[in-house]
Structure 1
Amino acid sequence: MDIWEELYREAKPYYHPTAVNDFIYTHNVVCALQSKSGKIYTGYCVEALSGVLNLCAERVALLQMYMDSGETEVQRLIAFRDTPPEGNGGMPCGACREAFMQYNQANKNMQIMVDYAKRETVTLGELMPHWWGTSVKPESD
């Protein structure tokens, strides 16, 4: 079993679209990521009618990783609905891309699965070649 199959198998059980109540819907997108240390973290989306409560599966997995280990660097990520991504599927939204870059600029090198059958990936840096944050200078104390 390769790492992509392992990531897929870790995330798959979380796919079971569920209405929590009249306002919140969950589990219709799932994700698994591999941290720099090699540990796997999972997440599932949480969508709410208000919109401001929405969390994508990718950000939930990122937060799980940070809460559990303090790590901020991701090696690999797969996200999908009921089947593995194919074609150009599994792409993180703009908010997720931004979150990964802000947590750690080294995440520009993380591999994102776009076609599971072909094992085709793209890096976050390829999706965000001119990220605005590279021009931000840290404040000194």
Structure 2
Amino acid sequence: MPTPADLFEAAAAARARSYSPYSRFKVGAAIRAEDGTVHAGCNVENAAYPQGQCAEATAIGAMVMAGAKRIVEIAVVGGDAGSGLLCTPCGGCRQRIREFAGPDTPIHVFDAGGAGRSFTLGELLPHSFGPDNLGF
């Protein structure tokens, strides 16, 4: 399996396209699907704040549009280079990821300079509710 370096590059490129005029907090995400394809997305803000979209949600939408249904791993890039602050997926996005991934799915989080850490979805969303709870 390729290293997450390719996911970092795709997420960083998506971050560069972020539409974040209100928070000025740019985020990019990249998903590796079960077929090996990579799907990226950025955060898209809206003046009516609840109507914005997280980078992870944008990437998941791109993955589904391409016909994939399973996340093998995901990378998220947010925050300034060297800040030491990592941008893990928000609670809503953790649940969105859970729809297409299991507890052992790696989630790599990086700052804009490439410093990062990896977690599993189970670490970020323990005892989650997912499709298997509904018999899928």
Q: TM-score, normalised by structure 2?
A: 0.76
CA distance in 2, matches of 1:111, 1:97: 12
CA root-mean-square deviation: 3.2
1:45 pairs with 2:43: yes
Per-residue deviation, residues 37-61 of structure 1 (Å, max 9, x unmatched): 1111110001112123211001100
Aligned sequence identity (%): 24
Instruction: Name the counterpart of 2:3.
Output: 3
- Provide the C-alpha distance between the structure 1 equivalents of 2:32 and 2:90, rounded to a whole number of angstroms: 18
Contact 2:19/2:44 (8 A) holds in 1: no
Higher relative contact order (CA 8 A, sep 6+): 2
Task: State how far apart, in whole Å, the 2-side matches of 1:16 and 1:62 are.
Answer: 17
Unaligned runs of 5+ in 2: none
Structure with higher strand content: 1
Larger C-alpha radius of gyration, 1 or 2?
1
Q: Which runs of 5+ in 1 are unaligned?
A: none
What secondary structure does 2:50 align onto? coil
TM value normalised by structure 1: 0.73
- Cα separation, partners in 2 of 1:136 and 1:44, compared to 1, 3 Å: same
Q: Which amino acid aligns with 1:32?
A: A
Distance 1:82 1:93 in 2: 14
Q: CA deviation at 1:131?
A: 1.3
